Amino acid sequence: MQLATWNVNSLTVRLPQVLDWLAANPVDALVLQETKTTDDKFPREAIEAAGYHVAFFGQKTYNGVALLSKQNASQVQKNIPNFEDDMARVIAATVDDMRVIGAYFPNGQAPDSDKFVYKMRWLQALREWLQTELAQHPKLVLMGDFNITVDDRDVWDPVGLKDTIHCTVQEREHFQGLIDLGLRDAFRLFDQAEKSYSWWDYREFAFRRNRGLRIDHILVSEALVSRVSGCVIDKAPRKNERPSDHTPVVVTLG
DNA sequence: ATGCCTCAGCTCCTGAGA
């Protein structure tokens, strides 16, 4: 079984790439972030025609998430319960025997901004909700665009970007808070190439120069760790014409 | 360079992304 996450930066623009990628990588579930489309315009038919069930939760212009799955998804949850939020950032569902959560974490903009304050509040609410989710669903996968680098290995220039957005101590403490709930960073369960990233700026030939960040993650609960047989970043879609700035991350479970 | 790309939209500029 394979699960994947991809921030597509507009599903309207990237739908053909998503369908092509699924044809080549028929994963059992795929969560998307930054669909940037309202639910009435969501391309449900095209995705169902590709053999996937789909649950989605969007808004105009910004944010928006979706969960595609070969098996039917039940108990669909949109956003964090009991956390007031204007933004469509979370979609969760039960697929097979697993709770699958796709999330688009707030960007945060800058450590001294109001958006950073919101990011901290959102992270705290996510952690509290996940604690209850884990109690109900010990087999749980949290994946998406975290907008957090876990440590300096995830940063192309850790000196120059020290304490900047995605690299602050506060963000990393929140990431560790998720780990402390009993989750593991699937990518680091395995030996990986140095300078492995999941996002590259569109500017300054950042992809070609591999000036990137690893901010897209897949966390698996302890109950699933023994089943995880691999986790890779698929850089191929970043080489497409009109690529997303993010590329998919894929985990394989036995 | 508060820039460099890319996307959406109250679209020919602006806000946001990371």
pLDDT one digit per residue (tens) for chain A, 254 residues? 999 999 999 999 999 999 999 999 999 999 999 999 999 999 999 999 999 999 999 999 999 999 999 999 999 999 999 999 999 999 999 999 999 999 999 999 999 999 999 999 999 999 999 999 999 999 999 999 999 999 999 999 999 999 999 999 999 999 999 999 999 999 999 999 999 999 999 999 999 999 999 999 999 999 999 999 999 999 999 999 999 999 999 999 99
* pLDDT value of position A29: 98
Tell me the nt nearest to A87, Cα to C1': B16
A213: phi > 0 → left, psi -120 to 50 → alpha, else beta; which?
beta
* pLDDT value of position A109: 96
Tell me the nt nearest to A212, Cα to C1': B18
- Could you give the CA distance from residue A102 to residue A98 in angstroms, rounded to a whole number? 13
* pLDDT value of position A153: 98
Q: Determine which one of A28, A104, A185, A245 is catalytic.
A: A104
Q: Determine which one of A28, A145, A216, A245 is catalytic.
A: A145
* pLDDT value of position A212: 98
Spatial CA neighbour of A142 closest among A82, A92, A107: A92
| All residues at 6 or more sequence positions from A76 whose CB lies less than 8 Å from its CB, including other chains | A55, A67, A91, A92, A93
Q: On the CB side of A82, how many CA atoms lie within 13 Å of its CA?
A: 8
User: Residue ranges of the domains in chain A?
Assistant: 2-253
Residue A155 is classified by DSSP as B
CATH architecture of the domain with range A2-253:
4-Layer Sandwich (3.60)
* pLDDT value of position A202: 97
* pLDDT value of position A140: 98
User: Is residue A104 flagged as an active site residue?
Assistant: yes
pTM over 0.85: yes
* pLDDT value of position A195: 98
**In the structure encoding, which two tokens stand for residue A83, read together?**
């956390």
- Could you give the CA distance from residue A96 to residue A130 in angstroms, rounded to a whole number? 19
User: Is residue A62 flagged as an active site residue?
Assistant: no
